[in-house]
A and B are shown apart, each in its own frame.
Chain A
Amino acid sequence: SSELTQDPAVSVALGQTARITCQGDSLRRSYASWYQQKPGQAPVLVIYGKNNRPSGIPDRFSGSSSGNTASLTITGAQAEDEADYYCNCRDSSGNQNWVFGGGTKLTVL
């Protein structure tokens, strides 16, 4: 299957831990990458590879993977973390294709 499934919405209290998951068979063959997108802005990479953060991304963002599920965890969520989050990985079908999850809207209460 070339689909990645995400929960449409997740909410978290300020300062608490938010976990966003992404499921799909392709995740058994490649690591997911995660993108944060705020309204009117281009997506920004927040997690890639085996739990790596680009320069400038706070260390409260972390990633993990097990079987067909990848997770993005925000430990101590801040108001500025409210955004849409997308997972992505290479399709495992053998074609040089990539696939995005449907996105998760994170609300910080």
Chain B
Amino acid sequence: QVQLVQSGAEVKNPGASVKVSCKASGYTFTSNYMHWVRQAPGQGLEWMGIINPSGSSTNYAQKFQGRLTMTRDTSTSTDYMELSSLRSEDTAVYYCARDVSRKYDVLTGWWFDPWGQGTLVTVSS
């Protein structure tokens, strides 16, 4: 079955960087884009960015520009999300989610399926 397995929880000091991995299995890794989404404690879901199937192109949400780097290792079917200059507000659960899309009659639909189990990143001194 299609599965995304993420790396374990991290505790970081303010100003440090964190790198979270997401290993895919059960499908052709280079057929799909991958999204990263985060969720602060008690808050909603926040889209962070997307990486293309080959790993050659990324697009990040404006608020993460300059701090976020997404990379992909196609040899191991693993995506990485690195966030730098961490501050307390970056404390959150970070999720990877596979992008799927389909063109219908007039509109196109995109959806995220499946999701990784999430990685808790705690930023604290």
Q: Which residues of A contact B (CB under 8 A)?
A: 29-31, 33, 35, 37, 42-45, 48-50, 54, 84, 86, 88-90, 95-103
Beyond A42-B116, A86-B44, A102-B44, whether A49 also contacts B109 by CB under 8 A is yes
Given contacts A33-B111, A49-B104, A103-B45, 5 further A-B pairs with CB under 8 A are: A31-B104, A35-B45, A48-B113, A98-B50, A100-B46
Chain A residues in 8 Å Cβ range of B113: 45, 48, 54
> Please, which residues of chain A bring their CB within 8 A of the CB of B124?
none
In the bound complex, do residue B118 and residue A42 qualify as a contact, i.e. CB atoms below 8 Å apart? Answer: yes
Please report whether the interface of chain A is mostly helix, strand, loop or mixed according to DSSP.
Answer: strand
Complex Cα gap A99–B61 (Å): 10
Considering the chains assembled together, what is the distance between the CA atoms of A30 and B102 in angstroms?
Answer: 10
Asked if A35 meets B59 with Cβ closer than 8 Å, knowing A42-B95, A86-B45, the reply is no
A-B Cβ contacts below 8 A, count = 75
In which size bucket is the chain B interface?
20 to 34
Do A95 and B111 touch across chains, with their CB atoms under 8 A apart?
A: no
Listed A/B pairs (29) with beta-carbon separation below 8 Å: A29-B107, A30-B109, A31-B107, A31-B110, A42-B117, A42-B118, A43-B45, A43-B95, A43-B97, A43-B112, A43-B115, A45-B111, A48-B111, A48-B113, A49-B102, A49-B104, A49-B109, A50-B107, A84-B44, A86-B45, A89-B110, A96-B50, A97-B59, A97-B61, A98-B50, A98-B110, A100-B46, A100-B47, A103-B45
